[in-house]
Chain A
């Protein structure tokens, strides 16, 4: 059953990657990478149980926090970039 769940999660990750590649805006890509991160966290936990290496949950925990930090950092970067552009356009 772990294998089935892992497979379904992989299918979902593939669909999210298609959305990330297609765009059309930067926000869609950020959303897709956020989803990809969540699915990766779940996949790491499931694979840990699949291989009876249950300590992989630690890595899933760390990954959840890192993926959150990544999303926020990229959003901050996009906002700063856009603010700089709009001030340049005004001046």
Chain B
């Protein structure tokens, strides 16, 4: 039987997903993190933010945030496999180089969906309203996750034996991106320079689009901005990721 780029991608995707399926508890623990966030942060919110219920405003940001933490840190898994030798073994196999990134990046969608589902299940009883647009929001987030995961893997390939370098860059980038996007607090009352900076954060557009979609808005400039940001992240991530994997030497 001969392989194709698609079958190679499925092989890598299945391999990445397997430990998660074999040991679902590992996922459940990672799901608890956004829940803590909801429980400890949501009570601090006012009743209303930007003219809508605070929960309706807050939840889309939380979902994007858990994607940012999850997919953003996923490169650590590759870093570990570079150190143990599993990555070298895959580089020696006939698996196509782009598949080594694509399969991994697509896998990031799965924990993202699981986390989101949990967040929704927990918050709907507290008055969170699920509009049909939310499903488009999830699709958009999936595109973004693929791009972000791919960037994280690229960072892992670039840091190679220097684990500290991976974490230093990952942490340094994560928090400014997170805060500038107004994920936790609205930037409406922010000083001008902060609002200007936030315009350069692709997450700003994504978070705004998610909020719009989760409150039922579909055809709007805000949503279009998010679509552009998500696809641009995916194109950039997969582009640099495949390039880095092609050049990877062991």
The answer to whether A and B belong to the same complex is: no
**Interface residues, chain A, with chain B CB atoms under 8 Å away:** none
Q: Which residues of B contact A (CB under 8 A)?
A: none
